[in-house]
Structures are given as C-alpha cells and as structure tokens.
Amino acid sequence: MPLTDEEMMAGARERAEAVRITLEAEGIQADLYVGIEGGLHTMNLNGVKLAFLRGWVYATDGRRGFFGASPSVLVPDILARRVVDEAVELGDIIDDFAGQADVRSRQGAWGIFSRDLLTRSMSFEAALIAAFAPFYNVQLYMQES
C-alpha cells in the first residue's frame, strides 16, 4: 500500500499509461486514459505520526496528463500502525475493524470512517473531476503565462 502522495501519484500515472499502451497496441483510441491509486499519506506533525487515507487520479490524452486528489480522512491510529509498521493492506483489516464483510467492495474505509457520509466511490469521484478539470476547462489551464 502506498504511504506517500508521491507513491500514489506515481501509481496512478503508471496505471493510466498501462491502459493507454494496452489499448493502443490493440488499435483502440480513447479520448482519455485514467489511472486510480489510493493509499495513506503519512507524515509527522509536531512529533505526532499521522496517516491520512486519500486517493489520486491521473488522466491523460496521451499528450498531456493531469492529477486530481480525493479529500483526506485521518486513519485511526490502531489501523494506521498496522498498515505502516506491519505492511498490512488497509483493505485486509478494515472488515475486522468494522465488523462487516467486504467493506472494500462496498463503502470502503471512507464509508466506515465517515459513517457513510462519504464513500470510497465518492472520494474517487472528486479526484476524477479534479483530474479532468484541465480537459474540460482548456481555456483556463492552457493559457500561456
């Protein structure tokens, strides 16, 4: 599981580029190719270890690419320690923590942490919209400085 924004961003870009390469090898063109990566962003703030669940999206048309990020939510320390110190995937432990089955495929850890006010899908929707912004707002993002 990625533990920094940089790792998540690299993973999202690699996924988008892999989709682009695979489709183009099959003679299939798309307007946009998208990669999604989630993980924890870990940091120390005033000597306190913090871990935030977040996701990144990378969208590319094959020439230009842009990132978008999901919101962030603090991961409870008991879970963050297992993910960071023991290298356990959050998806592998969230079911036991929540007392539910297959959380990953439903509301995700986001849903558990926010009492379903924001789900995994919703968090990635925000990141996707952010990554698409330069493509649907070309006049603003493609201006010369």
Separation between Cα atoms, residue 139 and residue 110, nearest integer Å: 34
Separation between Cα atoms, residue 109 and residue 119, nearest integer Å: 8
Residue 142 pLDDT exceeds 90 = no
Residue 26 pLDDT exceeds 90 = yes
- Rounded to the nearest 10 degrees, the angle between the axes of helix 77-86 and helix 90-98 is 150
Residue 139's pLDDT band (cuts 50, 70, 90): confident
Task: Supply the pTM of this predicted model.
Answer: 0.90
In the block, tokens 């998540």 appear at: 8
**pLDDT tens-digit profile of 28-61?**
999 999 999 999 999 999 999 999 999 999 999 9
Average pLDDT value for residue range 108-137 = 94
Look at residues 63, 59, 69 and name the one whose alpha carbon lies nearest to residue 134: 59
Phi/psi for 85 (5° steps) reads -80, -30
Residue 141's pLDDT band (cuts 50, 70, 90): confident
Tokens of 114: 């926010």
Strand partners, 45: 48
Half-sphere exposure of 27 (CA within 13 A, CB side): 0
**pLDDT tens-digit profile of 95-117?**
999 999 999 889 999 999 999 99
Tell me what pLDDT residue 49 has.
93
Residue 145's pLDDT band (cuts 50, 70, 90): low
The alpha carbon dihedral of 82, 88, 94, 97 has a sign of negative
* DSSP H/E element including 54: strand 48-60
Distance from the Cα of residue 26 to its chain's centroid? 27
**pLDDT tens-digit profile of 66-86?**
999 999 999 999 999 999 999
